[in-house]
Amino acid sequence: MNSVLKLYYARKSFGSKKVLTNVSFELAQGEIIGIFGRNGSGKSTLLKMLFGTLKADALDVRINNLPVKQSQIITEQHIGYLPQDNFLPKHLKVRDVIPLFFSAGEEQDLIFRAPFIERIAKTKIGLLSMGERRYLELLLVAHLPHPFLLLDEPFSMIEPLYKEEIKKFLISLKAKKGIVLTDHYYPDVLEVSDRNIVLVNGESTPAAGEKALMELGYLR
Ligand SMILES: Nc1ncnc2c1ncn2[C@@H]1O[C@H](COP(=O)(O)OP(=O)(O)OP(=O)(O)O)[C@@H](O)[C@H]1O
């Protein structure tokens, strides 16, 4: 049975600044939902709250109708998360980082055999280009066993060839996961997403495609 994650509401203010007031969506395994919004609209804030690393003012998330507390999301491995910032140790080589994420040989092989990885396997993380590092980070997080995955700007700094690989990879991942994807490379998001929402003034609104993104003020 495919799991379903429902966000009934999410609220967050920083001091007197209300960032998220009324946000909701539903995501099943097998779907990709795109989240759009202008700079500062609260996309990263929402993802951090869903992952449990930023305390929400109020949050109601249910997986298969069972409420999930923020503190359970990481410990019970409900949701994987690709943050915007680097999180891999710079002094280690790519080939030594992969076993930190995966103990089983077959799982490690999936990463080692992924496109473009062989040629960077002996390079230290700190010496990778930004695009190479981003691609590796995505592969590592996405291969973890969580049924849901949050991706904050996976296309950032990525060259076209890697981007095509990532889009193919995301579509293949839908067999196992429900994915929340936010990125300002909106044509790439729209190419792989099944549904989209836009955050405007702290509220989420469904948006079918580019025309709706214009109507909601994300595009001109
Ligand atoms: N820890 C914090 N303390 C105070 N304000 C914060 C904090 N984190 C985020 N904000 C503010 O919350 C708002 C939303 O930020 P957020 O990073 O979620 O936006 P975003 O939609 O991801 O933007 P971008 O498209 O630029 O990545 C911004 O105005 C930001 O300055």
Give per-residue pLDDT as tens, 29-84.
999 999 999 999 999 999 999 999 999 999 999 999 999 999 999 889 999 999 99
**Candidate from 44, 48, 50 with most ligand 1 atoms within 8 A of CB, to mutate:** 44
pLDDT at 1: 78
pLDDT at 89: 97
pLDDT at 169: 94
53 lines ligand 1 (CB under 6 A): no
| Largest separation between any pair of C-alpha atoms in the chain | 50
- Pairwise CA distance, residues 102 & 109, whole Å: 10
Domains delineated in the chain: 4-215 (3.40.50.300)
Give mean pLDDT, residues 85-112: 96
- Pairwise CA distance, residues 178 & 79, whole Å: 9
pLDDT at 157: 87
Give mean pLDDT, residues 16-26: 97
Give mean pLDDT, residues 192-218: 96
User: What atom of ligand 1 comes closest to residue 54's alpha carbon?
Assistant: 1
What's the 22 CA to ligand 1 centre distance in angstroms? 16
Give per-residue pLDDT as tens, 136-170.
999 999 999 999 999 999 999 899 988 999 999 99
Closest Cα to atom 3, ligand 1: which residue? 14
User: What atom of ligand 1 comes closest to residue 48's alpha carbon?
Assistant: 18
* Cβ-based burial of 138 (10 A; exposed 0-12, middle 13-18, buried ≥19): buried
